[in-house]
Amino acid sequence: MYRFMSEYDYVVVGGGSAGCVLANRLSGEHEVLLLEAGEPDEAREISVPIAWVELLRGEYDWGFRTVPQPELHDRSLHLAQGKAVGGSSSINAQIYERGHPSDFDRWASAGNEGWSYESVREYYERIEGGELPGYGTDGPQRVAEQDGPSPLSEAFVDAAVECGVPRLDRSEVRHAEGAGYTHVTQKNGKRHSAADAFLRPALDRPNLSVETGAEVREVLFDGTRASGVRYVQDGETTRARATGEVILAAGAFNSPKLLMLSGVGPADHLRAHGIEVRADLPGVGRNLQDHLITWVCYESGTGDTYDDADSWPNALRYLLLKRGPFTSNGGEARAYWRSESGLEAPDVQFLFAPAHIERNGLAETSGPAFSVGTSLVRPESRGRVTLQSADYAADPVVDPQYLTRDDDLETLVRGVRKATEIAEADALSPYRGDRIFPSERGEEALVEHVRENAVTYYHPVGTCRMGADEMAVVDDRLRVRDVDGLRVVDASVVPTIPTGNTNAPTLAVAARGAALIAGDD
């Protein structure tokens, strides 16, 4: 038995998107402790929409990397994950996409009761707020239109329609079909993170405790029941008891890592690191899925790009009026496309940026440019997360095994070819100069371009997936198998990756998970 310093009904590990939703809902009636390894989200750059690129690889990013990926010329890719209150919702590009209805129906058809789109839609409507038709209007998470997007973004939408992609009305709810402006988690010209939406309104509750800089080292057990956690804060070790449940909401990399450090995972792997096996769950860390994205880029002959967005006039306009390029998330428009006829849903997303983008970063450029990103949104490749050692301070070993399925490479190459067609359509001709990259157009050149330039879209999911088979980690109520009092509620429980950006589905998973825990689902 452990000596506990404090006692709560629920201990939530991870103050990201899912953790903020859980803390808000559960602290309405229960004593809740929320533990976040990062620091408070107080930096000014977090609130400025276009500044998200500056947050990557900084103090608010875990800074994980993949192992070298053979299908990407042995490159090791940076894996941005938010390490702050609000998690990745505090450093992402704010795109809000529910996903395609068939995403959730696939989860339900695999035996996960209550996870069809019709079931999950209720939770979307509960969390969404704003004035956009088709979305929820009274929820805490503000979903908004882009504020004054660049004329190039409008031209991109026209170009996609010219190339056969259906047009979306600007206020149509996003079901991953067609071309239109992105909807964003913004309010009054600022980022509206999960911390803004869910956590701050609950901070005055006496039964909610939030600790930052608190790195959880393991889940503690009494027999087979999770009884609390051990965490380190300011160099001191503390134990907190959970009389109800311990809930992991640490994300697709840290949740499986923490399970394995606590003795829950593949038995052989745990024993190899000297960890006592509490529950042999071979699926922990498996089933990793992620979206890849690669860009085509063109010079632009106009001044409507954002390559000089950080000018003093733009900064002053933002400070005084909350208007101008600083309110942009950078990816102002998108389109979804089916690369082959007969598919149940689009398998490619195009993201438009009125700027010079290379490998998900603003590139040094001698002049204005625009870029079209091609993302593989229904990948077949599956990777894994394993332990480097039994030391919590060691990063997890992340091997996404990108493009190990031939279909993934073929789809991405078809997408790049279509992105080039859209970029060279008549609608963009007033803005288009010479193509910067890829420099060659042949099939082999496009394959080489993908292998050399594709990067993660920062959407990892699936490493603690829900299901009923032996490789499932949690059941459809998100309870960890073969132990009691322990759940995982974050993107890691997703069985198959959503068709599109993953922040909104993570919020919906957390909202339903909170309802399951509270007993009001």
291 is an active site residue: no
Distance from C-alpha of 488 to C-alpha of 170, rounded to nearest angstrom: 36
Asked if residues 111 and 214 have their Cβ atoms less than 8 Å apart, the reply is no
Q: How far is CA 55 from the centre of its chain?
A: 15
Strand ranges in 149-213 using DSSP code E only, listed in sequence order: 178-181, 186-187, 190-191, 208-212
Tokens of 13: 């590990």
The active-site residue out of 100, 291, 356, 459 is 459
Distance from C-alpha of 336 to C-alpha of 269, rounded to nearest angstrom: 40
Other beta carbons within 10 angstroms of residue 27's beta carbon come to 25
Element (H, E) at 156: helix 151-162
Asked if residues 452 and 73 have their Cβ atoms less than 8 Å apart, the reply is yes
Distance from C-alpha of 312 to C-alpha of 325, rounded to nearest angstrom: 12
Asked if residues 169 and 175 have their Cβ atoms less than 8 Å apart, the reply is no
| Maximum Cα interatomic distance, the chain, rounded to a whole number of Å | 71
Please report, as a single letter, which amino acid is at residue 85: V
Distance from C-alpha of 299 to C-alpha of 266, rounded to nearest angstrom: 50
Q: Output phi, psi for 476, to 5 deg.
A: -75, 0
Distance from C-alpha of 400 to C-alpha of 385, rounded to nearest angstrom: 8
Q: How far is CA 417 from the centre of its chain?
A: 26
Question: Among all residues, which ones are annotated catalytic?
Answer: 459
